[in-house]
Structures are given as structure tokens and as C-alpha cells.
Amino acid sequence: MLLAPFSQANERLYEVFIKELQQKETREQALQKVDLVLESTLAPEEIAEVHHKVTVALKNDFKLEDAHRWAERFKQILLTYHLPQYEAKYSLTYGDLMLKEGKFSDAISYLDLAVSQLSALNMHRLLCHAYRFRAGAYKNNGSYKDAIESYELSIEVAKKYEFADLQVSSITQLADVYSDLSLPDKALKLLQQSIAVLKSQQQQNTALLAQVYYNLGGAHQVIGDHEKSLQAYQTAYNYDLESGAVVYSAYTLIRIGREQIKLKRFDEAQASFEKAYEIFESHKHTRNQGWAKSNLAELKLKEGNKTEAKAFVEQALELIDPIQSKVLYQETMTTYAQIVLPERAEFFIESMKQIVAEEEAYLGLKETALRVLKDAYSAQGDFESALNYQLQYTESKISQLEKEASQKALAYQLDTEYQKNQFELQSLKTQREVELAEQRIQQIVTAAGVGVLIIFLSAFLLLARNKRRALELEKQLLNKALDLKQQLLADISHELRTPLTVLKLHIESLEHNLVENPKQSYKVLNRRLDTLNTLIKDIYELAQADTGSLNLALERANAKQAFIGFVEDIDDFVTDEGLEFNANIELPDDLEIDIDVTRLAQVFNNLARNSVNYTDKPGEVSVDIGYRNQQLYCVIEDSSPGVDDEALGRLFERLFRCDKSRSRDLGGSGLGLSICQKLVELHGGNITVAHSELGGLKVSVIIPCE
């Protein structure tokens, strides 16, 4: 028991930790106390959950080195405990970690395993994530066909189990695949579908709407519709603000600014970039501050203001880490070269050659570097080298056009195959459904026949069993009633035999003149006749109560006056027997109650007689009468001697006496308390007995006053 508060405290610490870890605002605070949480008493599942949540949080915050360290710890936990659900979660989490690191082949292997594990465990929401992550790995690995199929599987699971948010995420990312394949019309159609799904929800997911409109802006940008692209980005920005995603709103502002440049709205673009910079600065995102400054440099270059452009680009290069943010640094260097050339031509020739030589550099960056090399060599007067790089740039553009055409053809082929497979799948499903329906009908008919037979047999058996039980119960009741009747007759015969024998002896003594004092004998005879009369009267009243023919003559009476009368009736009787009598009556003056005054007086007289007969002198009898909760309470107690526990439970049994010889001497029939119980119950109340603090018996009577 002493461990319970500590255990509860640990549970609270664990639960608070999980909640804080899931909130971005409190995540760092939670990570600082993770070791304290793990030192507390946790179940194996909770230990695994802590490792899983920490790994996911670090992965999503792109703290990949720390995420790797925790993933290894997570793996060691799973080697210690057999937890299939967490093994599946590990495969999913590590696969996504590989995806974020650009290790796409490794990511596909882990995510394939996650798909298999999650399917077997029916963990459908995480399965949806696994399909989606795997599709992303396929896409980045150049396997567009596999990517589309995996996205479609994710969408199918999301639809089936009504995961609207994951359905929209998968559709949105599938749209990106079609954008990469130069099919913006297909991408736009999917994004509009995502928006329709989101807006059909009772409660809008503003964060997802922001993501969808952000991608919609990208799709319009691909086809050169910068006005619609700008509108989509502005809508995404509004949803970012509504959902409280301030940092994401800064990303969107950069996109808005770039579209404003395309539309030659330079002042608006500058305001967008400066606002984005302020947000990144307030959140200490150094890399993104450099990104905003780089865009300001491009803007000033477009305006022809190379002085300000140079200042902005140099500030950007100071903020951007050339190793951690290599691509952005290279992009900014190409902008710098376009601003300062022909100055520092040798430096930029060397930098741009490194970009062109890199396999990982994306095509757009390489083409910009080729143009910078052409300009740098031209500035040096080396027109042959300049022409060479211009030709490379032209070949790259032609190759890009051919690739786009090939990708478009591939996309149409994949789409056609997908539609064909869907049609075949639907046909197979329909055929299978018909077969299953026929099987179900046959099974239903068979089951119905068997069911009817089983029901009939069960009903017959149940009826027979119930009838047998009823007969057995009836037999038991009859036997019990017969036993009670025989016992009652035997008890009554016994009770009558003793006074009749005494009467017979006294009569014979008087008849033969054997009595010295005839008057005394007549008194004894009279007393014995009274005893017989009392016994017969009590038996008659109990018989009436048992048959329901004992009726009360209820009348509306003032409770206080009535009970004062009852107490006064027994006061003289008790004190005349040499016992001290105390009474306490606390009843409202205006309390009215429906009672049979004669019968309740009989109850009081019976109880008082019992107290007098069974209380040693000098002794005490007390009566306490009160009223609360619309009930009238009456307690009669007497002093010693008391009764033992066994006898206490039998006091309401008919003809039961604790001290049989003493009871007969006092004229008791053994039926008084049974009669009191019946009369109180007829008034809707109850009567109980207990040991009294005075040393004798305590009788409590409760009568409702409603």
C-alpha cells in the first residue's frame, strides 16, 4: 500500500512527459527529463513508448544524429522484450529516418518490413504512413511507377478506415509525383480533390489545408500560371496563421515573394521576404534567415540594384552553413556570381565547376552554374570556353525537355495501367462478392434449418427442465410448509398442555377438598385461564396476519400527542414493577401521521411487558422517540440481563423464548415480538433488535410519516 502513491506519481510523470513531447512548444523541456522518466517504475510497453516517441520527435525536428542514437537504444529495448507492435513501429520510424537522410534503398527495405508487420497486426493508421513513406522513397529513388502504386495503397487504406488527414496527405504527395512527371493537370486535379475532402469535414484541419494549398501553388507555378500560384500560396499563408504554424507561414511567405517577383510586384515581394526574415530571426532559424536574405538579393538583382543585392547576398552567405545547407549555399553563390561578375571571375569559375561536377546537384542549379561559367569566361575574354559552357547549357535544356516528355509518356502509361488494374480488380471483387453472396445464402439456409431445430429442442428441454424445477420447488415449499405446520402444532400443543395440566390438578384438588386455601387456588386458576386466553388470542392475531385478514383502522392523528399517550400508558406499569423509567420525546408539534392507535398501543404494551418481565431489579427502561428524514424513530431499551448473539437473531421467531421456564412463570406466550413485527410492518415500517448499552435489549421501531 505504501508503494501506491509513488506508483501513481510515476504514472503522472510518464503521462505528462508523453504529452509535452508531442507538443512542439514543450518538446525541448520534455527531452531534458527523459532520463528521469526512464528511471521511474515503468512497464516494458511504456519504456518502449518513451524510446519510440523520443526517436520520432528528434527525427521530425531533423536532429538526425540524436535520432540515430535513440533508435539504437530503442532497438536494444526490443531485443530485451518481445513487443511485436513496437517492433513494427521501429521499422517504420527507422525507415523514415533513412528517407530523411537520403538513403532511399535502405529506407525501402525497412518500410517494406514495416508494411508487412503493420498489416499482420492490423495497425491501419501506421500502415497508411508506411505506404506513404515508402512511396516517397521510391519517388526519390526514381521509381515513379512503384511510388504511384504505394501512394494509391496508402489512399485506399485511408479511405477504408476514414483517416481523412492521411488520405489528404497521400493525395497531396501523389500530386507532387505528377508535377515531377510534368503532368500539372493531373496534379491540380488531385489537389482539388484533397481540398474537397478537407472541406467536407465537420471540423476543418487548417494545417492540412495549408499544406494542400502550398502544393497547389507549386503546381500552378510549374505551368507558369503565377497569378493562381500566388493566390494559392496566400490562401496557404492564411491557413498557416489560423493553425498557429508561424514558422511554416514564413516558408510560405518566401514562396509568395518569389511569385510576386515573377509578376514584377517588387515592393510586395520585398515586404514578404522581410517579414519572413523577421519570423525566422525571432525563432533563431539561422539557415532560413540566410534563405530570406538570399531571396532579397535576387530581388534587388532583378531591380538592377546591384549594390543592395551584394550587401544582402554577403549577409546571406555569412548565415548559411556551406556543409549543413550545401544546396542553399550553392544557390546563393550563383546569385552572388551574377551580382559581382566580372569581379572575382576566377573564384566563381572554380566554385561553379564544383557545382557542375557534383552528381547530387539538381538540374536547375547545374544550369544556373553553366550560365555563370559562360558569363565568367566571357568576362575574361575566353570566348571558346564560354561557348563550350553555353553548348552544355543548351544540351542540358534539350535533355531536360526530352526527359520531361519521356516522363510524361511514362506517367500516362502508368496511369493507363493503373486504371486497367483498377478495372480488373473491381471485376474480380464483383465476381468474388457474387460467389460469397451465394455461399452466404446457402450457409444461411442451412444455418436457419439447424437453428430452428436447435431452438425447438432447446425450448423443449428448457420447458421440461423448468417444469421439473417448478415441481421440485413446489415440493420443497409444500414440505417446508408442512414441517412448519407440524412444528407450530407441536409447539402450540406443548404450550397448551402445561397450563391445562396445572388447571386439571387444581380442579381435582378442589374437588377432593385437598386445598387448604380455596381462594388462593381460584386465583391460580384464574391466572392460568388468562394465560390460555392470551395465547389463543395471540395465535389468532398471527393467523389473521398470515392470511392477510388483519386490517388496521388507520386514522389521522397528531404524532406527538399519540406517542405521549403511549408512553404514559406504560410509565405506571414499568414503575409499579420497581424499575426506573426514562422517556424522551422530540417530535414537531404539527406532525400528523396515519396510524392505528389501538394497534400501536398494543406494540408499546408488548415491548414494555417484555422489558419488565426480563429486566432484573433494580433496573431501568428508557424510551427515546424522534423524527428525521420523514421517518418516526422509537427506541425502547432496558438494563441487564441481555441475550446472547445466537438468541438475538431468533427473537422474532414464533414461540421462541430465551428462558422458557421464566417466560411461562411470567405468562409469556413467546408470540409477543412476532405480533409486534407484523403490526409494525402493516404500518409500512420495520422493527429490529440489538444489544443495549444499558446491558439489556434494544428494540428500534421505524415508521414512515409520508
Q: Which of 551, 566, 590 is the last residue of a domain?
A: 551
Percent above pLDDT 70 for the chain: 77
* pLDDT score of 661: 42
The last residue of a domain, from among 418, 441, 473: 418
Same domain, 625 and 672: yes
- Boundary of a domain, candidates 551, 577, 612: 551
H or E, element range at 688: strand 686-691
Query: Residues of the chain with pLDDT > 90: what percent?
Result: 17
Q: What is the grid cell recorded at 575?
A: 414503575
pLDDT of residue 669: 57
3-state SS of 29-77? HHHHCHHHHHHCCCCHHHHHHHHHHHHHHHHHCCCHHHHHHHHHHHHHH
Beta bridge partners of 593: 557
The answer to the question of residue 375 being in a domain is yes
Q: Any idea which of 245-254, 322-331, 537-546, 669-678 has the lowest mean pLDDT? A: 537-546
Q: Which 3 state secondary structure label does DSSP give 313? A: helix
**CA nearest 393: which of 364, 367, 414, 421?**
367
Half-sphere exposure of 41 (CA within 13 A, CB side): 9
- d(C-alpha 582, C-alpha 575), whole Å: 10
- At residue 130, does pLDDT exceed 50? yes
> How large is the average pLDDT for residues 638-647?
83
Residue 201 included in any domain:
no
Nearest to 233 by CA among 194, 178, 272, 202: 272
Q: What is the mean pLDDT of residues 415-434?
A: 55
Q: Which residue has the higher pLDDT, 176 or 237?
A: 237
Amino acid (one-letter) located at 391: L
The helix (H) or strand (E) run that includes residue 242 is: helix 226-243
Better-scored residue on pLDDT, 611 or 119: 119
Confidence of residue 365 (pLDDT cuts 50, 70, 90): low
Q: Which residue has the cell 420495520?
A: 686
Give me the mean pLDDT over the 507-530 stretch.
67
pLDDT at 545: 58
Residues 585 and 699 in one domain: yes
Is 383 in the same domain as 517?
no
Please state, in angstroms and as integers, the Cα–Cα distance from residue 347 to each residue in 340, 341, 343, 352, 466, following that order: 11, 10, 9, 9, 104
Pair (490, 399) in one structural domain: no
Confidence at residue 4, expressed as pLDDT on a 0 to 100 scale: 39
Average pLDDT over residues 255-263: 92
Residue 444, judged by CB atoms within 10 A of its CB (0-12, 13-18, 19+), counts as exposed
Minimum mean pLDDT range among 318-332, 366-380, 660-674: 660-674
Q: How far is CA 218 from CA 167, 616, 637, in A?
A: 20, 106, 94
544 shares its domain with 504: yes
**pLDDT at residue 511, rounded to an integer:** 67
**Which H or E run contains 623?**
strand 619-628
Q: Would you say residue 682 has pLDDT above 70?
A: yes
In this model, does residue 128 exceed pLDDT 60? Answer: yes
DSSP string, 537-560: HHHHHHHHHHHT------EEEEHH
For 542, the domain range is 430-551
Indicate the average pLDDT of the chain: 79
Which CA distances in Å does 183 have to 220, 223, 228, 366, 653? 11, 9, 17, 23, 97
The CATH number of the domain where 642 resides is what?
A: 3.30.565.10
Q: How many domains does the structure of the chain reveal? A: 3
Q: What is the mean pLDDT of residues 425-453?
A: 68
Residue 193: inside a domain, yes or no? no
Confidence of residue 80 (pLDDT cuts 50, 70, 90): very high
Has residue 97 been placed in a domain? no
The answer to whether position 391 is within a domain reads: yes
- Whether 321 is in a domain gets the answer no
CATH number of residue 528's parent domain: 1.10.287.130
What are the Cα distances from residue 639, in Å, to 257, 616, 645, 652? 101, 8, 16, 20
Give the model confidence (pLDDT) of 470-509 as tens digits: 778 777 777 765 665 565 555 555 555 556 665 666 676 6
Residue position matching grid coordinates 571571375: 345
State the Cα–Cα distance between residues 96 and 93, nearest whole angstrom. Answer: 5
Query: Is there a single domain that holds both residue 579 and residue 559?
Result: yes
Query: 564 with 538, same domain?
Result: no
Residue of 14, 25, 80, 82 lying closest to 49 (CA atoms): 14
Asked whether residue 240 is assigned to any structural domain, the reply reads: no
Residue closest to 21 by CA, chosen among 84, 79, 80, 70? 70
Q: How confident is the model at residue 670 (pLDDT cuts 50, 70, 90)?
A: low
Same domain, 449 and 516: yes
The residue ranking higher by pLDDT, 159 or 513, is 159
Whether residue 522 is predicted with pLDDT greater than 80 in this model: the reply is no
Say yes or no: 560 and 699 in one domain.
yes
Is the pLDDT at 427 greater than 80? The verdict is no
Other C-beta atoms closer than 10 Å to the C-beta of 289 total 23
pLDDT tens track for 133-155: 999 888 877 787 898 999 999 99
Q: 197, 164, 190, 162: which is closest to 176 by C-alpha?
A: 190
C-alpha cell at 272: 514578404
Let me know if residue 605 belongs to a domain.
yes
Distances (CA, A) of 519 to 514, 533, 667: 13, 21, 20
Q: 529 with 560, same domain? A: no
pLDDT band at 3 (very low <50, low <70, confident <90, very high): very low
CB neighbour list of residue 509: distance below 8 Å, 6 or more residues apart:
515, 521
Could you tell me which residue, 166 or 366, shows the higher pLDDT? 166
> What pLDDT is recorded for position 22?
78
Instruction: Judge whether residue 405 has pLDDT over 70.
Output: no
C-alpha 350/C-alpha 467 separation (Å) is 105
Q: Record the cell numbers describing residue 589, joined without a space.
A: 408539534
Does residue 625 register a pLDDT over 50?
A: yes
Please write the tens of the pLDDT for every residue from 409-419: 555 555 555 45
Q: Are residues 414 and 526 in the same domain?
A: no
569 and 685 co-located in one domain: yes
Question: Is the pLDDT confidence value at 666 over 50?
Answer: no
* pLDDT at site 531: 61
Beta strands at 619-628 and 631-639: parallel, antiparallel or unpaired: antiparallel
pLDDT greater than 60 at residue 428 = no
